[in-house]
Structure 1
């Protein structure tokens, strides 16, 4: 009599194969191969497992070492290579290349790479994707040194990579394409706010200044465009999965009936078409509601193509802009350009404080008198207090400063101010020489009154922040002006990337928009995002046009932060549901008691 033994296993007990009648004990016979165990987290089977073709015929020659190594290499590198390729394609979707259809393709590749992976492995794949995107995207920062460029790229990539495990979680649920869109918006919201107030460069929305998705910005802002791009990529991934993976209880994809295949693919294909058509059907009015404003954007240029010394000696850039403004006055006299109602100078066009330097103040008054119109000047102001500066937009006339001034509300960390200055100056000694002062943040929106209208003044990188641009419109701006100084960044894409953001903001808020730069690219943009004219890089130029004044607020303006908040809530909820789903469906050990022999 044998005692009962408890056996713990993770699956059903499979009895040994029966011996043929003619086989005696001790004889050997071929034993059928065992059915492979399910792969972790539903990972797709590799060659030889169900869904990836039949097993090799035992009569075939055994695989060589070389073929085994090759198949192993492919199996272990296909996902990392897909992630790297996806990141590279996302960079190519972004200006200056600007091939916008590659953005949803990049999302597709990342989604397929991280689907059914463990969360830690998924984050690693996301980091590969993010580095392949951020390192080339942010190369314009390299003028501060390779260390600064790579540190910023790594920091941004570390946050962007969070979208990968988030995608893994939500793909455990039905309707994964919608949740994928939501987690992309949530990731961008995080990057827009943290750390140090965030750095939202390289958002999916900013790859779409002129695509079928662009008009969605007028409905839900940049988050709506990001969601549409991510959803399209996820729907494409779903289509590929359904093509290559049979549904339960159906034949393999090669033998699946055509009608059944069509039914499985209809939903993702129709979803993609619906997103595209929605963007194309959104009306984008451009007609003036309160007349027009004739503006002249002045690009005075700088002495050098990029680097710390691009602006040259003090007052040189101001002198350049005074000279080009005189050319404008001459062109107005000859009829080459119309008489402007407002003249726009870029950020940092006065690198000396006109409120404390009489020579600079005299030059600005003379420029306004020469142009015969008020002048918006980008100026560096001292104080308040020692070691502090302000980055401001100011309205000047022939009589002097009018009192209308906007101080940049979001100075750039490590460029305009140094977080933790006391510690960092001890660790990195060059900061004391390269950044001796900190720019202080302004506190009020950039709604400036000039030439009988209200302009929404945005300074440089602030165009990337949804709320800062929206605030100017909510305070009555009927034309947007982005004052920027791109001189230090060289010919490495920063100005083109910023122009793509300006075009999207024009659509989002239904406002004519002017980007005016010290060194390019400057541009005039209609409320539907169309480029009327633009300058090149590192050249002097004058752009003039009569721009429509509009005051109607778009749905995006009226909704404010609500679309983003809803998508963030959906994304976080889906992630939590993905965690719960994984715990409920995780295989558990079962105890089987075999019969007791007697």
Structure 2
């Protein structure tokens, strides 16, 4: 038996140390963040989970693998959301540790299926069960009250054409499942020599799915175009100067034959009902341009208690009566969950001092030329179901009004803009992503970029000729079927494990020792005998 050299022995001691393992788990979990914008190393997503998987596989016990899964999940969330640190400070660490618990089952299952010298059957199960467990973690954290679906692994493929075609079939969920499956197969190729054939079969299956989608899945039809202008005022302090700059840029659109002008989130800071002068100015801008304006009002309502963020359509005579109130608010940014319990977050960061109020239903708006648009506000573009529901309700163009000015010098503006490509590909509808300070972008019904992006240092109004999508994508028609498939796979696995445990218990010898009932009967005295 070969003795380990000093370097190997030192590495072995470090891996055995709980503190070193914890640090490695945090780092391994953070690695996938490089696949997202701004680095946008989309290819990295195909191997980014491998170090984390190998670490959990090598854990001495299932309990240690659970801890590695938890710390890795916390590291992933910290890395993907690191731009929140200036706003939430130490509270972001608390949130990451809390949500990192969602990867505990993934850690345990990795150890259960890949630890030691697993056979082909366990590896084949791992290729399905581990992606399914990952999807469950993503599904739970996608709940709006837990932070929403920002940083789903599949979203890293927003600029890969074959991946976008797959998104039209199963949404970002299908992309995430396949990415984790590839990572598991690569980890098996590295660490489990006896099951490499199964791993290669898994990689071949993933390639076949991608090739099949590229060859046979239909694409969105583009029967026409719409001219939509995006107004990005840039970094201007104060709502008043920002409004004036937006109005100035909008007037420059006169004579350019646009169908719609879109302003960013919180572009109007006064309630239009109680401020007729603002209402009148917006109507005059609509007449000057010859098109409706979609503005976003962030103000206290006069007809309802509280502050709302609302997309309001303005025509030449003022508000058209079509209004959408933001339904899904940013935790801590726009409200404090369980404020009596977590209200202290306002003392350690820039958390919301007053909760915004929620809208109650999605709205599809109709322009004068009968073009139907589906508005979303900022954070809502991260939710696949919201875009899907708007398209099912008849929207032909999706419009997102956003503001990431708080995170101007971070990865957040690019990450947010990239989500529009996924939503477009999923729904076969173009998406206009309009922001106050960049990045503003437009994507066509196949997820392809339309025209130039407006970077964070731009202050301009840009007109885009937007191709209109037609037809119903498989994802819009069927829904998130990969999630349901993952649930079914986990249910089958749990049933099989339960059945196996029951059989082991049944086959185990009785703890009561051998049955002595016959001997006891023999020892009993026979009647009539001493």
TM-score normalised by length of structure 2: 0.85
Moved over 6 A (4+): 63-67, 384-387, 431-434, 582-591
537-546 vs 431-440, greater mean Cα deviation: 431-440
Matched, 1:181 2:131: yes
Equivalent in the alignment of 2:411: 493
Matched, 1:216 2:166: yes
Which residues in structure 2 correspond to 1:79-478 (within 5 Å)? 83-115=25-57, 117=59, 118-169=61-112, 171=114, 173=122, 174-193=124-143, 196=145, 198-211=147-160, 212-243=162-193, 246=194, 266-281=200-215, 283=217, 285-289=219-223, 291-303=224-236, 312-329=237-254, 332=255, 338-383=256-301, 388-425=306-343, 427=344, 430=347, 435-451=352-368, 452-478=370-396
CA distance in 1, matches of 2:9, 2:50: 29
Per the alignment, in what secondary structure is the counterpart of residue 286 of structure 2?
helix
1:349 Cα deviation after fit = 0.9
Q: Which has the higher contact order (CA 8 A, sep 6+)?
A: 1
Q: Deviations over 1:274-314 (max 9, x none)?
A: 2442343354635423x3211111111122xxxxxxxx323
1:391 Cα deviation after fit = 0.9
Alpha carbon RMSD of aligned pairs, Å?
Answer: 3.1
CA distance in 2, matches of 1:357, 1:317: 17
Judged with a 3 Å threshold, the aligned counterparts in structure 2 of structure 1 residues 359 and 570 are, in CA distance, closer, same or farther, namely same
1:55 Cα deviation after fit = 4.8
Is the 8 Å Cα contact of residues 83 and 110 (structure 1) preserved in structure 2?
yes
1:266 Cα deviation after fit = 4.2
Equivalent in the alignment of 1:254: none
Judged with a 3 Å threshold, the aligned counterparts in structure 2 of structure 1 residues 82 and 267 are, in CA distance, closer, same or farther, namely farther
Is the 8 Å Cα contact of residues 180 and 571 (structure 1) preserved in structure 2?
no
Is the 8 Å Cα contact of residues 177 and 238 (structure 1) preserved in structure 2?
no
Per the alignment, in what secondary structure is the counterpart of residue 442 of structure 2?
strand
Per the alignment, in what secondary structure is the counterpart of residue 314 of structure 2?
strand
Judged with a 3 Å threshold, the aligned counterparts in structure 2 of structure 1 residues 69 and 233 are, in CA distance, closer, same or farther, namely closer
Per the alignment, in what secondary structure is the counterpart of residue 252 of structure 2?
helix
CA distance in 2, matches of 1:202, 1:229: 14
Which stretches in structure 2 are left out of the alignment for 5+ residues?
Answer: 512-530
199-208 vs 145-154, greater mean Cα deviation: 145-154
Judged with a 3 Å threshold, the aligned counterparts in structure 2 of structure 1 residues 191 and 297 are, in CA distance, closer, same or farther, namely same
Q: Deviations over 1:391-438 (max 9, x none)?
A: 11110012000001111111122111223334544x456499963432
CA distance in 2, matches of 1:159, 1:476: 36
TM-score normalised by length of structure 1: 0.76
1:181 Cα deviation after fit = 1.6
Q: Deviations over 1:69-100 (max 9, x none)?
A: 55433555886576445323201011111111
Is the 8 Å Cα contact of residues 266 and 298 (structure 2) preserved in structure 1?
yes
Judged with a 3 Å threshold, the aligned counterparts in structure 2 of structure 1 residues 423 and 188 are, in CA distance, closer, same or farther, namely closer
Which stretches in structure 1 are left out of the alignment for 5+ residues?
Answer: 1-53, 57-62, 248-260, 304-311, 333-337, 592-598
CA distance in 2, matches of 1:588, 1:459: 60
CA distance in 1, matches of 2:350, 2:409: 25
CA distance in 1, matches of 2:349, 2:5: 63
CA distance in 2, matches of 1:402, 1:356: 16
CA distance in 2, matches of 1:439, 1:341: 31
1:485 Cα deviation after fit = 0.9
CA distance in 2, matches of 1:64, 1:107: 28
1:541 Cα deviation after fit = 2.3
Equivalent in the alignment of 2:421: 503
Is the 8 Å Cα contact of residues 271 and 301 (structure 2) preserved in structure 1?
no
The aligned length equals: 499
CA distance in 2, matches of 1:498, 1:505: 11
Matched, 1:72 2:13: yes
Judged with a 3 Å threshold, the aligned counterparts in structure 2 of structure 1 residues 176 and 320 are, in CA distance, closer, same or farther, namely same
1:198 Cα deviation after fit = 4.4
Judged with a 3 Å threshold, the aligned counterparts in structure 2 of structure 1 residues 397 and 87 are, in CA distance, closer, same or farther, namely same
1:508 Cα deviation after fit = 0.3
Determine which structure has more spread, i.e. the larger CA radius of gyration: 1
Q: Deviations over 1:135-184 (max 9, x none)?
A: 23212222324123333333333334543224334557343101122111
CA distance in 2, matches of 1:92, 1:293: 35
Per the alignment, in what secondary structure is the counterpart of residue 469 of structure 2?
coil
Please state which structure has a larger fraction of its residues in helix.
2
CA distance in 2, matches of 1:458, 1:278: 33
Judged with a 3 Å threshold, the aligned counterparts in structure 2 of structure 1 residues 577 and 86 are, in CA distance, closer, same or farther, namely farther
Which residues in structure 2 correspond to 1:10-25 (within 5 Å)? none
Matched, 1:543 2:476: no
Judged with a 3 Å threshold, the aligned counterparts in structure 2 of structure 1 residues 570 and 74 are, in CA distance, closer, same or farther, namely closer
Q: Deviations over 1:348-399 (max 9, x none)?
A: 1112222222232122112212221000111114247886111111100120
CA distance in 2, matches of 1:149, 1:215: 35
